[in-house]
Copies of this chain bind each other. A is one copy, B any other.
Amino acid sequence: MAHTRIGDLLKNGTVGTLISLQGWVRTKREGKGVGFLEVNDGSCLASIQVVVDLESLGDALRQVATGAAVQVAGCLVTSQGKGQRVEVQAQTLTLVGPADAETYPLQKKRHSFEFLREIAHLRPRTNSFGAVFRVRNACAMAIHEFFQERGFLWVHTPLITTSDCEGAGERFQVTSLNLTQPGLPSTLDFAADFFGRPAYLTVSGQLEAEIMALAFTNVYTFGPTFRAENSNTSRHLAEFWMVEPEMAFCDLEGDADLAEAFLKHIFRAVLERCPEDMAFFQERISDRVLANAQTIIEQPFARITYTEAIAILEQSDRSFAFPVQWGMDLQSEHERFLAEVHFQRPVVVMDYPAGIKAFYMRLNDGDDPQRQTVRAMDILAPGIGEIVGGSQREERLEILEQRLESVGLHPADYWWYLDLRRFGSVPHAGFGLGFERLVQFMTGMGNIRDVIPFPRYPQNAEF
């Protein structure tokens, strides 16, 4: 008999039919003459209850403990009591792979997320991490779907690079030189390295995405990105996934329109496709999860300039730890005040001071020279702060060259990036969204290390 996934059985299984299932035992208990197994196969949050007659299957049941893999054939019957529609009356119970009841680390009790991080190879078998990785998958596919429906191409930008998107950022170096041999020379010969010069892991695919946008009009990247920042926080990873759409013939307003439609689509899609997992997060992880999603979905985002944001902050009666002053970068406390207190909904802040933003952002014309701004935007959302950062790119060759030089970069290193402004340059814009931050926000998980299967952070690259 073909095996049916447990999610299908619970949702669509017909009472009275014979079925077969496979999965892992979450709990086992014995009643009067019968035993009960909760079996889960990862297809949904819920486990299915399997009722085992002790007289006929008692021997088989005795070999089975929490964590064991089993195969069950039996009749799907209406569930007595509890929250489930159906359960299985077992006719056969086969132990596929045992688990030792004494040593299996995931016993039926609450484990701390810190402890579960130490056993990242087993934590996907818990309710919380099962839900996280199903939502992560649904979120990733909603991202593809959003862009593909709009005719954007998914482009794969390189991870190993010799260029430097931000002109700063702490990067990992990549080398094929043997660094673990004893007796290294005091100066390494990078001409003998794989790429003939020092190479690094990328911090952003944006510059290459611009290349592709200037051929295909609308593209997006969705792939891994790296930061060698020594940040031991609940919001930083050394390796994370990033989404970066890039659009030709598009200005900052069009960029903000797309980002707003994008966020609304993702949240709607995940709520629709993972209702059980999302209800679990709301109940067990954070009671703000559904409300946060609703603020994204239901209301149009507010839009203000950075200068207006500064005025709002100055006119508020809050005393901030970081004093408010035009030219400063907005701190978390300012971002939260704007989104959570003042607007009580997501807000797009545009036109930031040039001095605090990257070289490739388009300089606004007609500014007071003391208050030069660029076409940058950040989207701030209640409950998380900055969730999207984007900009219109500087498409004017001479101004871009001046900007590179003014921040101490060498235009010659950016020859191909400048070529894009030499040949068929167009207004273009894009944004970046940290995928794990999005999943963290969506699930309410407190630590970003718990929304990626195998987190990389200082001192940790296990698994």
Residue ID in chain B nearest A40 by CB atoms: B215
Q: What's the least CB distance linking A77 to chain B, in Å?
A: 23
Copies in the complex: 2
Answer whether A456 and B195 are a contact pair too, CB < 8 Å, given A67-B423, A239-B160.
yes
Which residues in chain A, 173-227, are within 8 Å of chain B measured between CB atoms?
Answer: 173-177, 179-180, 182-188, 190, 194-199, 201, 208, 211-212, 214-217, 223-224, 226
Answer whether A452 and B416 are a contact pair too, CB < 8 Å, given A179-B175, A199-B461, A215-B42.
no
Tell whether, in the assembled complex, residue B208 and residue A179 are in contact, meaning their CB atoms are under 8 Å apart: no
Tell whether, in the assembled complex, residue B173 and residue A424 are in contact, meaning their CB atoms are under 8 Å apart: no
A197–B153 CA distance with the chains assembled, in angstroms: 38
Flag the segment in A140-148, A311-319, A321-329, A378-386 that touches B: A140-148
Tell whether, in the assembled complex, residue B461 and residue A424 are in contact, meaning their CB atoms are under 8 Å apart: no
Which residues in chain A, 348-371, are within 8 Å of chain B measured between CB atoms?
Answer: none
How many interface residues does A have (CB within 8 Å)? 113
Contacts of A156 in B (CB 8 A): 136, 224, 241, 452-453
A463 contacts which of B3, B153, B158, B226 (Cβ < 8 Å)?
A: B158
Tell whether, in the assembled complex, residue A130 and residue B216 are in contact, meaning their CB atoms are under 8 Å apart: yes
A144–B25 CA distance with the chains assembled, in angstroms: 30
Residue ID in chain B nearest A153 by CB atoms: B137
Answer whether A154 and B137 are a contact pair too, CB < 8 Å, given A195-B460, A425-B69.
yes
A99–B397 CA distance with the chains assembled, in angstroms: 12
A184 contacts which of B186, B199, B249, B459 (Cβ < 8 Å)?
A: B186
Tell whether, in the assembled complex, residue A461 and residue B217 are in contact, meaning their CB atoms are under 8 Å apart: no
Contacts of A155 in B (CB 8 A): 133, 137, 453
Contacts of A307 in B (CB 8 A): none
A58 at the interface (CB under 8 A from B): no
Tell whether, in the assembled complex, residue B454 and residue A194 are in contact, meaning their CB atoms are under 8 Å apart: no
Q: In the complex, which of the residues A7, A67, A69, A458 has the most CB atoms of chain B within 10 Å of its own CB atom?
A: A69
Q: What's the least CB distance linking A371 to chain B, in Å?
A: 28
Tell whether, in the assembled complex, residue B453 and residue A157 are in contact, meaning their CB atoms are under 8 Å apart: yes
Contacts of A170 in B (CB 8 A): 176
A422 at the interface (CB under 8 A from B): yes
- List, sorted by A's number, 22 A–B pairs whose CB atoms are closer than 8 Å: A5-B151, A24-B215, A25-B424, A42-B153, A42-B215, A42-B216, A67-B424, A96-B424, A121-B419, A133-B215, A141-B144, A155-B453, A158-B454, A173-B176, A175-B175, A175-B179, A195-B456, A197-B461, A199-B461, A208-B453, A212-B453, A223-B223
10 interchain residue pairs of minimum CB distance: A42-B216, A124-B215, A97-B425, A121-B416, A195-B461, A69-B424, A176-B228, A99-B423, A196-B459, A137-B153
